[in-house]
Amino acid sequence: VLAAARAPMLPGGPGIARAADRALAALMLQVGLGACLRHLGAAPVCGTDPIGCGGADLSHPAVLLTFAHRGVGVVVLALVLALVVVTSRDPRAVARTVAAVRVVALVAALQVTLGLLAVWLALPIALVTLHLVGAELLFMALLSVRLRSALGARARGPLDGQAVAVVPVAHELARPT
């Protein structure tokens, strides 16, 4: 009875949702650029120079595509860091949302590291594949944060007393009150 009298709270404010949306949009652009690099065969154009491009012709489309992929990677990382800051400053963010954002930051750091290592080691297929898997894990982690921020009602949870999302089952919705 007491729990029903409380107004439902969000597991985070709208700032978390906006920050997650921005990071997701940038990540989708990043994944598209990475796919273009791979399928156009442009990835090896810069050799094993993960930061610059070893004196390559900057007007060449493959070099521009490579720099775009690396540049958007920096933007994704910056947006993930912004998400961490927004979440840490939001008093409405519950422990599970904060933990999910920390996982996003960890996966983003791992993703950048895998990308740098893949280039530095001349694009071995195992690292390139792990880099792709990392992008998908980052997408799922960001989507989890975004969906968590969209949930409304919550029940008591073990981490912070109010962290478990309540998702009504269809047969519970059909019951008359």
Share of the chain above pLDDT 70, in %: 79
Question: Is residue 88 predicted with pLDDT exceeding 50?
Answer: yes
Candidate from 20-29, 93-102, 139-148, 150-159 with smallest mean pLDDT: 150-159
Q: Which residue has the higher pLDDT, 166 or 56?
A: 56
92-122 pLDDT tens trace: 888 888 999 999 999 999 999 999 999 999 9
Question: Is residue 90 predicted with pLDDT exceeding 70?
Answer: yes
What integer pLDDT is reported at residue 50 of this predicted model? 82
Q: What is the pTM of this model?
A: 0.78
SS (H, E, C) the chain: CHHHHCCCCCCCCHHHHHHHHHHHHHHHHHHHHHHHHHHHCCHHHHCCCCCCCCCCCCCCHHHHHHHHHHHHHHHHHHHHHHHHHHHHHCCCCCHHHHHHHHHHHHHHHHHHHHHHHHHHCCCCHHHHHHHHHHHHHHHHHHHHHHHHHHCCCEECCCCCCCCEECCCCHHHHHCCC
Question: Is residue 125 predicted with pLDDT exceeding 90?
Answer: yes
129-141 pLDDT tens trace: 999 999 999 999 9
